[in-house]
Structure 1
Amino acid sequence: MSISIKERIISRLQAAKGDPISGQALAEELEISRTMVWKYLKGLGEEGYEIEAIKKKGYILKQMPDTLASERISLHLETKELGKNIIYYPVCDSTQTIATNKAREGVAHGTLVVSEEQTAGRGRLDRSWESSAGKGIWMSLILRPNISPQFAAQFTLVAAVAIARAIEDTTTCVPSIKWPNDLLINGKKVTGILTELQSDMDRVQAIIIGMGINVNQTSESFEGPLESIATSLKLETGEHVDRALLAAKVLFYLEKYSDMYITLGFEPIKLIWESYNCTIGNRIRATTLRDTIEGLAIGITNDGALQLQLDNGEIKGIYSADIDLLKI
């Protein structure tokens, strides 16, 4: 995807770090007229970019809007493929639903669907996901790896590791991973992951990874039942987090660890996952579609299954379940 003129103007103003850039210099660099430069700057101002014009000196970027628009994420991208095509919605029903449909339509590997707000955000088992406007990261990524369907389930764990690393890079928080798809901070949920598959019998057509990250919510966002189970990065750090930067970091680590998994297998991902996990070594309750069992979580296998040791010593492999951590 080629970089748009708007993105180039934003990038140039940001790189100046407060030094004014003249309209003439921008026009020459971008090979457009000064009138077109002015129109672009006017448009950016209408989108929430605070740009100061200093007489006889030029333009200074004072502040950027806190959005997940494609040009904001693209400013921070360090990927080769992921996020090169970004489909942005101020409001949508569900990025996962849209991404699922886009994948069937054949959009490119690495396409990202992202929204400021979801009106029908969903998690595992079609549970609703609170997706308040402008506070979190609600996005779904379409991957088209050349793998067999049997290897797709591990991408949930790959995504969990990627998001944990991205959060650690951009904040003072070190999240823990609760198998299979939750990230916690101080025991409260900060991220949920939903991985869905489109495939033939022998080949993956698309993996759609839905990610909901609570970023800048305040305590008022989690009143009622959510108060005891959910948190945000801002609540944990006391600081506002740049959502676009965090989203770009997630894509960076997703690309890194996806490539690692496809090239080297699950073992190196498993080692990183274990360094963040809060499941192994704990007594848990696992609720599957068929029953509920309790036991000691003793590890995960190389296909991502949780190994649960029952009280009678039997070891069961669990591939999908809701997990509650229990006190020993």
Structure 2
Amino acid sequence: MSAKEKILDLLIENKGSYISGEELASTIGISRAGIWKNIKKLQNEGHLIDAVTNKGYMLKPSSDVFDEKSIRKHLDIPQNIVNFKILKETQSTNSVAYQMALSGEPEGLVVLSRQQSLGRGHKGHTFYSPAGSGIYLSILLRPSNLSSSRTGLITCMGASAMCRALRDVSGKDVRIKWVNDLFLDGRKVCGILTEGALDLESGLLGFSITGCGVNLYPPKGGFPPELSDIAGSLFEDNVDDGGSRITAGFLNYFFGYYEDFKKGNHEGFLNDYRQHSLIIGKNVKFDIDKEEHTGKVIAIDDLCRLVIQESGERPYLLEPGKVSIHF
């Protein structure tokens, strides 16, 4: 563990109280100048740290730094269901979880990172994942007897769980844009990506990785120009324990749904998905065989397929992940 990480851990343990530079230097074993240099790095990453002469350093109560201890205190599910791997930075939490799955990691792994350098989104898109402004996590599942054609249900389950968690903590009207994005006031605040590996003999899913990226706060310096018209954040300012409460809420809902999912009961998360849909009842454009169509979304069926009625035609069933819609 680096000196910077040790300093952050001590500040988290004493959140809301000052620790002198002398005490930090003595505990960690570096100079006070080294403490100051690392404090500046932490501040530049978005951590709200007060530095006061003759008092020392304090992580502000409103600073939203979430760690395993903070998340677990908000969990309602049995603690042993999840196993956390928390990283300072990684290319992609999905990639880390995928490699651990190949090495035999059991179901329930949750990989969290404070930053991603190559966060992945749907259809090869990237997900902007700077430090100090978001939640970036991936969950490993090993569902039994699940065909590849039904993996879209796991994405829908993740979207329902995250939507409810964001609504609970923020009190805002977050909505699901089929199939894997969450929007607030016309801007995307969350993206979800499910990947997996097939058992070639059975044709069934060997494991799945569901990744979620949430824009909690505006990134320092704003979003890149190519995202400025579409990306948004859940909050404008830091919310005390916001990241921990949302992460725990998501896990509570997700694994609650999953218990029913394993029994073949999809009703709970599908009803929540429909209730919070952004597009049911709206006219949308979609492409089939490179031909543009326009129709009205009339339902989301029990496989999370979009049911669209085009004027004078039979309804279309659009499969999750195989078509894009615009409205």
TM band (smaller chain): 0.7 to 0.9
1:248-267 alignment runs, 5 A limit: 248-263=248-263, 265-267=265-267
In 2: Cα distance, 1:272 partner to 1:290 partner: 32
Please report how far the alpha carbon of residue 259 of structure 1 lies from its aligned counterpart in structure 2 after TM superposition.
Answer: 1.5
Partner residue, 1:285? 285
Partner residue, 1:35? none
Mark the runs of 5 or more structure 1 residues left unpaired by the alignment: 1-5, 20-37, 51-60
| Cα deviation 1:251-307 (Å, max 9, x = unaligned) | 111011122233352233222111100111111122468554321111111111111
Please tell me the residue identity of whatever aligns with 2:151. Answer: A
Closer, same or farther in 2 for the Cα pair 1:191/1:285, shift >3 Å?
Answer: same
Q: State how many pairs are aligned.
A: 283
Q: Secondary structure at the match of 1:279?
A: coil
RMSD between aligned alpha carbons? 3.3
Alpha-carbon contact 1:82-1:255 (below 8 Å) kept: no
Closer, same or farther in 2 for the Cα pair 1:154/1:89, shift >3 Å?
Answer: same
In 2: Cα distance, 1:289 partner to 1:121 partner: 29
1:35-184 alignment runs, 5 A limit: 42=27, 63=61, 66-80=64-78, 84-149=82-147, 150-184=149-183
In 1: Cα distance, 2:293 partner to 2:318 partner: 10
In 1: Cα distance, 2:247 partner to 2:285 partner: 32
TM-score by length of 1: 0.75
Closer, same or farther in 2 for the Cα pair 1:223/1:153, shift >3 Å?
Answer: closer
Please report how far the alpha carbon of residue 225 of structure 1 lies from its aligned counterpart in structure 2 after TM superposition.
Answer: 3.2
Alpha-carbon contact 2:173-2:184 (below 8 Å) kept: yes
Q: Does 1:208 align with 2:209?
A: yes
1:236-315 alignment runs, 5 A limit: 240=239, 242-263=242-263, 265-287=265-287, 291-315=291-315
In 2: Cα distance, 1:210 partner to 1:156 partner: 9
Q: Secondary structure at the match of 1:145?
A: coil
Alpha-carbon contact 2:62-2:238 (below 8 Å) kept: no
Closer, same or farther in 2 for the Cα pair 1:77/1:64, shift >3 Å?
Answer: farther
In 2: Cα distance, 1:190 partner to 1:183 partner: 6
Closer, same or farther in 2 for the Cα pair 1:239/1:70, shift >3 Å?
Answer: closer
Alpha-carbon contact 2:121-2:192 (below 8 Å) kept: yes
Of structures 1 and 2, the one with the larger relative CO (CA 8 A, separation 6+) is 2
Please tell me the residue identity of whatever aligns with 1:250. Answer: F
TM-score by length of 2: 0.76
- Taking every aligned residue pair, what percent have the same amino acid on both sides? 27
